[in-house]
Amino acid sequence: MKKSGFQLDSPPFAQGLTLCCLMLLACSVANADSRLRFDGVPVELTVSQVGDDTVQLQLTPLDGQGRPYRETGSPILVPFAATEKLWAREFDGTKEVQVGQLRVTVKSPPLTISVRRLDGTRVQKLAFDSEAGTNSITFQTAAPVLGLGEGAPQFDRRGHFYPIQNGESTPLLATDGARIPVPFLVGTEGWALFAPAPSGAFDLRGGRGVFLPGAGAMPGRADLFVIDARRPENAMRELIRLTGAPVLPPKWALGYLQSHRTLSTEADVLAEARSFREKNLPCDAFIFLGTGFCPAGWNLGHDSFQFNTNVFVHDPATVIRELHAEHLHVVLHVVPLRKNYPALHGEIPPAPGEVPDAQDIGTYWNRHRALFAAGVDGWWPDEGDWFDVPSRLARHRMYYEGPLHDRPNVRPWNLQRNGCAGIARYGGWIWSGDIRSSWKTLAAQVAVGLNSSLSVSPFWGTDIGGFFPSADQEYTGELYVRWFQFAAFCPLFRSHGRTWHLHLPWGWNTGTTGPVESKPVPDPSELHNAAVEPICRRYDDLRYQLMSYTYTLTREARDTGLPLMRALWLQYPDDPQAIRLGDEYLWGRDLLIAPVVEKGATTRRVYLPQGNWYDWWTHEKIQGGRWIDRPVNLATMPIYARAGAIIPLDPVRQYISQPVAEPTVLQVYPGKDGTFTLYDDDGQSLDYRRDTDPAAVWIRFHWDDAERRLTVGPDPRMKRWPGGARVYQVQLAGGSAEPKRVEFRGAPVAVTL
């Protein structure tokens, strides 16, 4: 086993001496043409097999005695097995070695490495110190390039320059959101490239890509993973193998989450909770902003963990208990001060012999513990753009390990806007930052979510409606509805923004804005829009009806790395139209989502990949492999189900854990054989991490189209049936057959329609 990465913790003085020595050494060996070099210094090359489809390429600089400067392990990588296949410090000509199902060819000078499949087709070709510039690595970019983290120009990353720069200090913040740079790129012609580097840049403006290590990087050092992504699922599987599998969230976090800003009184907060229930608007959590970014939040200011007594008359435990009585989870906003926490490190609990200091995550977590003991369910850690990669990862780890230390078998949840590769193994929920309430922003966020899901974490979302208003008063009930529809098919389904009463599903029909936190405010004529609330309810209900399907996708993300929001390329890599599209996407394998992102739209142009598709709303069967123009009104966002899909539709709930008596509908879309394996568990414990989880339910549904028969049976991953019956009502989409009832009690059962 080995763990590899870039040096992150060398003292500046020692690193400077190392750089000087390496440069002097470069001069002394200038005539040794057989020596392998990168960035002007002699290096040793190691080619290792990480998997059948993954090659690790490492260049390590050598000192004057030929000793390698070894790097410390990168915190973003987890331990993985690697088998060395080639090691060299000098040669002229060509060497070739088989690495799993790949062949790696090394040529020097200049140093060039080609990775091909066993059938001879190329995966990637990399050149070191090419004519593109010193200390650079070039690679091929012949088709759209995706991934590369969150933010910055979208969807195809080619044509732009991408510094590895984190945070909201970006010129495209208003539309593309905050930047979370992750040096994981996927080429839609069938490759993926991962460079776990803390600094540098990607230049994708030419006909090929160039990786430029950062100015502080040690000369001669490189660590790259090349992945065969002819089958796209390979790229996602290998990414989580290197950076860690996503953990399952508590099931309630997949429900609707309502965020709050300026608060008035405790009574108003509780009245709002009752309003959600009285209006039959499903909701699972209230999220409260802290005082500091608004005049009256839940606490006394930034870095405060005391309740605001100007708002709440009761103690925190009483307030939280009253919200829990309405079946609402409580999430609190937290802003660390840079002077208090310039960097973070450590583990919870501390490693043996470790004495936590002021920057240890255990020290910081201790400040949360009283409120956590009072019943807080989750955290909203804001800010932190200043944190380096190890600190960002440590912060995510703190909000995972800290809650688990206090509640050992309850899944933690937190929402952050900063991160890096590897955060998914600690939950890794991300929102896209302080974006503008505009149509351009809504359109851009679709592609942002797809690239973020491919490279940062499968758990991503936006502020429904946008965070701050645009200067030309674009924030209207129409924009809010279109954003709400899109967010119903994002992992994070949360409404938030300034003038927050207009981010409530019923806020556009009250005649008032509520507390004004940003100007301009909408025209008063916009505040009597009775259409908004029922449309929001329709999509809120749909989110909860699809919970069995969506929760299964979260398990699939853990097991395979495939995100919930999927660029069409992930399922249709051979479709040249599909791989270019970043304005529509798949929700899992079987549902295609086409958000409406134009003001006043009456049609939505949609591309349907090969095969037959069904309009979600009308059940009309449509041949794919072509573009269609779908008429829309404000209530309609186009959704299509793939022929062969089996979609479970639960009864509408007002909160995730609400008991219901009605059966789950299995909606079958005929025209092709199909299989769907449903996953379910208790939704809150860590038992899912055990192969013998007694609460895990795996049910396999198979549709035989020719026989018009649906078979329901246990999947081999289910170790034992927990008992009782699961009742389903099976119905055909667009068909005249009568629905059939089926009871599953752990043994196979079939029904014919």
DSSP readout, 188-247?
A: TTTEEEE---SSEEEE-SSSEEEEEE-TTSPTT-EEEEEEE-SSHHHHHHHHHHHH-PPP
Four-residue CA torsion sign, 733, 734, 735, 740 = positive
Closest CA to 72 of 11, 16, 136: 11
What's the pLDDT score for residue 158? 98
Closest CA to 275 of 524, 13, 28, 510: 510
What's the pLDDT score for residue 691? 80
What's the pLDDT score for residue 236? 98
Could you tell me where in the chain the CATH 2.60.40.1760 domains are found? 12-243
Could you tell me where in the chain the CATH 2.60.40.1180 domains are found? 565-642, 663-752
Strand partners of residue 307: 299
- Residue 129 predicted with pLDDT over 80: no
Topology of the domain comprising 251-532 = TIM Barrel (3.20.20)
Q: Where are the beta strands (DSSP E) in 362-413?
A: 378-381
**In this structure, are strands 184-187 and 145-147 parallel, antiparallel, or unpaired?**
antiparallel
Paired tokens of 279: 């209006």
Q: Please give the DSSP secondary-structure letter assigned to residue 252.
A: G
Q: Count Cβ atoms below 10 Å from residue 65 Cβ, excluding itself.
A: 6
Four-residue CA torsion sign, 265, 267, 269, 272 = negative
Is 528 exposed, middle or buried (CB count within 10 Å of its CB: 0-12, 13-18, 19+)?
A: exposed
Residue 593 pLDDT level (bands cut at 50, 70, 90) = very high
- Residue 2 predicted with pLDDT over 60: no
Residue 321 pLDDT level (bands cut at 50, 70, 90) = very high
Q: What are phi and psi of 242, to 5 degrees?
A: -85, -35
- Residue 1 predicted with pLDDT over 80: no
What's the pLDDT score for residue 388? 95
180-202: per-residue pLDDT in tens? 999 999 999 999 999 998 789 99
Strand partners of residue 437: 469
Could you tell me where in the chain the CATH 3.20.20.80 domains are found? 251-532
Note the residue count of the chain.
Answer: 753
Thinking of the domain 565-642, which architecture would CATH place it in? Sandwich (2.60)
Topology of the domain comprising 12-243 = Immunoglobulin-like (2.60.40)
Residue 499 or residue 24, greater confidence: 499
d(CA 625, CA 615) in angstroms, rounded, equals: 15
Average pLDDT of the residues in 232-244: 97
Paired tokens of 575: 């479709």
Topology of the domain comprising 663-752 = Immunoglobulin-like (2.60.40)
- Residue 31 predicted with pLDDT over 50: no
Longest dimension (CA), the chain: 84
